[in-house]
């Protein structure tokens, strides 16, 4: 198999002891998913089958990525009966097909879950720039995916007391669910988590610090959802 940079440790209890990190193996790859596997997001079925969303890069970077010295991040999905693999890809193409104007690829930071309706992914959008972008993708079978044109979450955060704050970076989305069904599917999301950055005294300073320099202070934001909109 072909080894990526994803590693896994296992234990019979969250309190440990945990095994030494073991490299996750991918049984197959293509020129689209050639290497650089990172940002794993697993959903585990009751029978132990693991559905894994991952971020990878192609064998050959497109001209626009080479021109701006960027990677070309795309998202795929694979399955395995074991945490360390070997994982077999279920998507021969990226969940969202790449485009010529995507300087750094399509998406990163996937969060995968399976609901009674099918498979879902939230991700940080990277096309065309990665600024002010979130993505939502859906599939009934985990193989054929559709990417929504609607922004799944905003960069303006409403606070208690009527105030709001504009975040310059809102990445690494994850959901907390209220209901887990017998078949392993989940529903009724209660909280959306993101890694965010708003370091700086004004919008210009925040943009420079968080986006251009990517050196601002980051922290985890939790936003309660008013209703279960993704089931």
**Average pLDDT score, the chain:** 85
> Residue 214: its pLDDT value, please?
81
> Residue 69: its pLDDT value, please?
43
For 141-200, write each residue's pLDDT tens digit.
999 999 998 989 988 888 888 888 888 889 999 999 999 999 999 999 999 999 999 877
- Average pLDDT of 119-141? 88
DSSP string computed for the chain = -EEEEEEE---SSTTSPPPPPEEEEES---SSS-EEEEEEEEEE-TTS-EEEEEEEE-SS--HHHHHTT---BEEEEEEESSTT--BEES-SS-SS---TT-TTBSEEEEEEEEETTEEEEEEEE-SSSSSS-EEEEEESSSSS-EE-SS-SS-SEEE-GGG-EEE-SEEEEEEEEEEEE-TTS-EEEEEEEEEEEE--SSSHHHHIIIIIIS--S-EEEEEEE-SS----
């Amino acid at each position: 198999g072909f080894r990526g940079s994803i590693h896994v440790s296992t234990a019979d209890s969250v309190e440990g002891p945990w095994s030494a990190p073991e490299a996750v193996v991918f049984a197959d790859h293509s020129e689209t998913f050639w290497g650089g596997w990172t940002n794993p997001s697993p959903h585990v079925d009751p029978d132990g089958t693991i559905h894994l969303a991952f971020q990878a890069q192609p064998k050959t970077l497109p001209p626009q990525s080479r021109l701006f010295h960027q990677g070309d991040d795309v998202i795929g999905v694979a399955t395995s009966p074991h945490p360390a693999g070997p994982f077999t890809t279920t998507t021969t193409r990226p969940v969202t097909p790449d485009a010529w104007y995507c300087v750094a690829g399509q998406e990163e930071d996937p969060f995968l879950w399976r609901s009674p309706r099918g498979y879902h992914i939230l991700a940080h959008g990277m096309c065309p720039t990665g600024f002010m972008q979130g993505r939502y993708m859906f599939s009934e079978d985990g193989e054929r995916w559709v990417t929504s044109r609607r922004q799944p979450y905003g960069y303006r955060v409403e606070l208690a007391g009527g105030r709001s704050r504009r975040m310059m970076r809102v990445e690494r989305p994850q959901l907390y669910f209220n209901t887990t069904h017998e078949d392993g599917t989940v529903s009724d999301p209660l909280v959306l988590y993101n890694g965010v950055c708003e370091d700086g005294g004004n919008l210009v300073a925040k943009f420079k610090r968080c986006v251009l320099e990517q050196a601002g202070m980051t922290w985890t934001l939790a936003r309660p959802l008013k209703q279960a909109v993704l089931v």
